[in-house]
Amino acid sequence: WGRSVVRYKLHQHRISDERTDPIVRDYRDAMKLMEQLANGKFSLGATDTQKPAGGPPMVDGPGRTFSMDSLRDFGK
């Protein structure tokens, strides 16, 4: 679907008959399917096995490499 949308956007200034243009047809089909997906009328076949966790977002990573003290003399 993404490819159809991007292809349409790249060729939207092309002069052609919109009723028979395959780029326009593919774009409209993709938009219809995405609309059905958003409305819950179409399924990708995958089900969520886990419920979303509540609470604030959590970030984990390595400690800081630079600090105000380590950069104090930088640029002097």
Q: Phi first, then psi: what are they for 3, rounded to 5°?
A: -60, -40
Q: Is the pTM of this model over 0.85?
A: no
| Domain spans in the chain, listed from the N-terminal domain onward | 2-39
pLDDT of residue 31: 95
pLDDT-derived band of residue 76, with 50, 70 and 90 as boundaries?
low
Alpha-carbon gap, residue 9 to 3, rounded angstroms:
10
Contacts of 21 (CB under 8 A, 6+ apart): 14
pLDDT of 7 > 90? The answer is yes
Average confidence (pLDDT) over 36-65: 80
Each residue of 25-36: pLDDT tens digit?
999 999 999 999
pLDDT of 48 > 90? The answer is no
